[in-house]
Amino acid sequence: MTAGADLRAWSTEGRQPSIAIIGAGMSGIAAVVKLRRAGYSDLSVFEKTDRVGGTWRENTYPGLSCDVPSRWYSFSFALNPDWNYRYSYGPEIQAYMETVAEDFGVTDVVRFRTPVTDLRYEAPSWRLTTGNGEELRFDIVISATGVLHHPAVPEIEGLDTFEGACFHSARWDPSVEIAGKRVGVIGTGSTAAQIVGAITQDVGEMFVFQRTPQWMAPLYQKKYSSFTKRLLRLFPFLQRFGYDWYKRGMIRVFGAATVGDKNKQQILSRICRKNLEQNVSDPELRARLTPDYQAACKRLVFCSDFYPAISQPHAHLVTDAIARVTPKGVQTADGSVHELDVLVLATGFDPSAFILPTKVTGEGGRDLETFWDGAPRAHRAVAMPGFPNFWMLEGPTGPVGNLSLITVTEHQLDYVISMLDKMKAEGLAAIAAKEAAFREYNDAMREAIPNTVWVTGGCTSWYMDKSGMPNLYPFPPQRYLDDMQDPDFSEFRLMRDGEGEALAAA
């Protein structure tokens, strides 16, 4: 970290670049490990809370699990023979994140309880301001803040008048007793499905408020035996084999199904329909749970517990629209009041925030929030024109959905490292995406997106942003991963000391 103004480029001074990484979740951990391995050692991670883990630290709701197989939902540099389940539960993933952070010396460079409030580009480096009022200067900034971390609290009349306990799924309150209580869950996304599946057996009555039915695929959970773990430890190549096997399979099936492979889409639809038919015997309930859009249009839910749970006699699927929340419960449009002790808002997240509300000011005073205007876009999901030496992990329009985001992040890091290597080799002061390359890349995506199931599938989802289009990568995910291994530097302005300052001062 470079204190005070230092307007000479690190690459011409022959020193290490000082690199600020914002966030100590999965991406921040991967960033430290991969950057160090590539020879970059002046690293500082800024974490607003007091623990690493990101989404796995923040979400603690009952039933929390990852519907991407553990063998693949792992860092490629820290495969884990000891996973207990094929699909890990949240606490085990959080423990894994903490272990990796400790074992790889990540924790040593994390500044906990230090939110970053302001980032300002002063060519060729960044001035970073923390919530504690400290001002620091870095050559490179990497945003590792994740995608879904700002809870979307629904605007429902009277929500604040509810007399029972009420919280968002990402703010689960463990002190609230749910056993034997009347619990309401608003939403039927991946989170709600996991919560309802996990707690219905314990509660007195369960009310699920469904605005739109979801297609749900079964989750073939499996506990790994100690024999399997021993075998994997004895023959580590089997761990690599498991990682590659799941990676190839998931990318081939889910990646292809979403971006236009009609056969795979139909297979997914059949799997979901069969799952519903086999697990919900009441035809009236089944009809109310049946979506009228294509499977994988919304992010596909993988859960084997939801249908059995909602079929219980003490569980109620409420499909009338919510009119208001009253002190006693939720009132629906038909006038009924569903009395509750606990109300859980499994209503998702703001998907357009990314690093915001941190104020990010690039060249010529370009403001990131204004530049995005509710429809965030980036070049190859990692860079924005006007924001030199600023890189995003899990930024806008990267491949998401039923994939391991760890793999996506690692490929993005390889790309960023290629940029740093280029700066070092050529004595560059700054690199920024060219406006034209950014436009071309996003135009190509805009053309392709109408062919994806997110648009043709006939639904709305959190994938859609203010532009009315899904904020996603519309080509096969493998293409993205391959492209990130092979950067085309002609898409970037490669600036030497002094260049770019005129624009910055404008």
For ligand NAP, the binding residues (CB under 6 A) are 65-68, 148, 154, 156, 169, 186-192, 209, 211-212, 299, 322, 346-348, 462
Number of other residues whose CB lies within 10 A of the CB of residue 450? 11
Query: Using CA atoms, how far apart are residues 197 and 225, in angstroms rounded to an integer?
Result: 24
Closest CA to 329 of 317, 314, 319, 344: 344
For residue 193, the SS3 value is helix
Residue closer to ligand NAP (CB basis): 70 or 125: 70
Task: Give the nearest distance from C-beta 30 to ligand NAP in angstroms.
Answer: 17
Query: Using CA atoms, how far apart are residues 393 and 144, in angstroms rounded to an integer?
Result: 5
Virtual CA dihedral for 19, 20, 23, 28, nearest 10 degrees?
A: 0
Q: Are strands 125-130 and 116-122 parallel, antiparallel or unpaired?
A: antiparallel
Task: Give the nearest distance from C-beta 152 to ligand NAP in angstroms.
Answer: 7
Task: Give the nearest distance from C-beta 200 to ligand NAP in angstroms.
Answer: 16
Residue closer to ligand NAP (CB basis): 18 or 275: 275
Residue closer to ligand NAP (CB basis): 85 or 112: 85
CA distances from 287 to 50, 207, 278, 292 (A): 46, 17, 13, 10
Residue closer to ligand NAP (CB basis): 389 or 407: 407
Task: Give the nearest distance from C-beta 209 to ligand NAP in angstroms.
Answer: 6
Q: Which residue has the tokens 């580009």?
A: 121
Query: Using CA atoms, how far apart are residues 268 and 97, in angstroms rounded to an integer?
Result: 31
Query: Using CA atoms, how far apart are residues 328 and 164, in angstroms rounded to an integer?
Result: 7
| Long-range contact set of residues 434-438: C-beta below 8 Å, sequence gap at least 24 | 434/385, 434/491, 434/492, 434/493, 435/385, 435/386, 437/379, 437/385, 437/490, 437/491, 437/492, 438/377, 438/378, 438/379, 438/383, 438/384, 438/385
Task: Give the nearest distance from C-beta 165 to ligand NAP in angstroms.
Answer: 19
In our burial notation (b when 16+ CB lie closer than 10 A, e otherwise), range 255-291 reads bbbbbbbeebbeebbebbeebbeebbeeeebeeebeb
Task: Give the nearest distance from C-beta 268 to ligand NAP in angstroms.
Answer: 15
**Residue 408 contacts residue 398 (beta carbons within 8 Å):** yes
Residue closer to ligand NAP (CB basis): 313 or 374: 374
Residue closer to ligand NAP (CB basis): 67 or 363: 67
Task: Give the nearest distance from C-beta 167 to ligand NAP in angstroms.
Answer: 13
Residue closer to ligand NAP (CB basis): 153 or 494: 153
> What angle, rounded to 10 degrees, do the helices at 477-484 and 405-426 form?
20
The token pair at 456 is 């043709």
Residue closer to ligand NAP (CB basis): 189 or 500: 189
Residue closer to ligand NAP (CB basis): 118 or 350: 350
Task: Give the nearest distance from C-beta 280 to ligand NAP in angstroms.
Answer: 17
Task: Give the nearest distance from C-beta 82 to ligand NAP in angstroms.
Answer: 20
- Sign of the alpha-carbon torsion through 260, 262, 267, 272: positive
Query: Using CA atoms, how far apart are residues 494 and 419, in angstroms rounded to an integer?
Result: 10
Task: Give the nearest distance from C-beta 66 to ligand NAP in angstroms.
Answer: 5
Query: Using CA atoms, how far apart are residues 110 and 116, in angstroms rounded to an integer?
Result: 13
**Residue 389 contacts residue 362 (beta carbons within 8 Å):** no
Residue closer to ligand NAP (CB basis): 68 or 123: 68
